[in-house]
Structure 1
Amino acid sequence: MPTSDAEGKDWSLERFRRHLPNTVTDIGPGEGTYARLFRPAHPGVWWTGIEIHKPYVAKYKLKSTKTRKMYDEIHVEDVRDSEDHLFHRDLVIAGDVLEHMPREDAVALLQRVEAAGAWHILVSLPIVESEQGEVDGNPHEAHVYQWDAGDMDQVLASLGGNVEAMHGGTLGVWWWSRA
Structure 2
Amino acid sequence: MPTSDAEGKDWSLERFAAVKPDTVCDIGPGEGTYAKLFRPAHEGVWWTGIEIHKPYVAKYKLRSTKARRMYDELHVEDARQSEQHLFHRDLVIFGDVLEHMPREDAIDLLERAEAAGAWNILVSVPIVESVQDEIDGNPHEAHVHQWDPDDLDTVLAGLGGRTDAMRGDTLGVWWWSRRG
TM-score calculated relative to the size of structure 2:
0.99
Deviation digits for residues 106-135 of structure 1, max 9, x if unmatched?
A: 000000000000000000000000000000
Deviation digits for residues 111-168 of structure 1, max 9, x if unmatched?
A: 0000000000000000000000000000000000000110110000000000000011
Could you say which residue in structure 2 is the equivalent of 1:62?
A: 62
Q: Secondary structure at the match of 1:61?
A: coil
1:81-120 to structure 2, matched below 5 A, reads: 81-120=81-120
Q: Distance in 2 between matches of 1:140 and 1:160?
A: 30
Which residue identity lines up with residue 145 of structure 2 in the other structure? Y
CA displacement at 1:27 relative to structure 2: 0.1
Gaps of 5+ in 2: none
Could you say which residue in structure 1 is the equivalent of 2:146?
A: 146
Q: 29-38 or 148-157, which moves further after superposition? A: 148-157
1:17 counterpart = 2:30: no
* Count of residues in Structure 1 that have an aligned counterpart in Structure 2: 179
Q: Distance in 2 between matches of 1:138 and 1:150?
A: 29
CA displacement at 1:29 relative to structure 2: 0.1
Q: Distance in 1 between matches of 2:41 and 2:151?
A: 31
Which residue identity lines up with residue 60 of structure 2 in the other structure? Y
Q: Distance in 2 between matches of 1:35 and 1:96?
A: 14
Which residue identity lines up with residue 160 of structure 2 in the other structure? G
Which residue identity lines up with residue 41 of structure 1 in the other structure? A
Q: Distance in 2 between matches of 1:89 and 1:43?
A: 16
Gaps of 5+ in 1: none
Q: Distance in 2 between matches of 1:166 and 1:153?
A: 11
Q: Secondary structure at the match of 1:48?
A: strand
Which residue identity lines up with residue 177 of structure 2 in the other structure? S
Q: Distance in 1 between matches of 2:64 and 2:119?
A: 24
Could you say which residue in structure 2 is the equivalent of 1:2?
A: 2
Q: Secondary structure at the match of 1:53?
A: coil
1:48 counterpart = 2:30: no
CA displacement at 1:43 relative to structure 2: 1.8
Q: Secondary structure at the match of 2:39?
A: helix
User: CA RMSD, aligned part only?
Assistant: 0.4
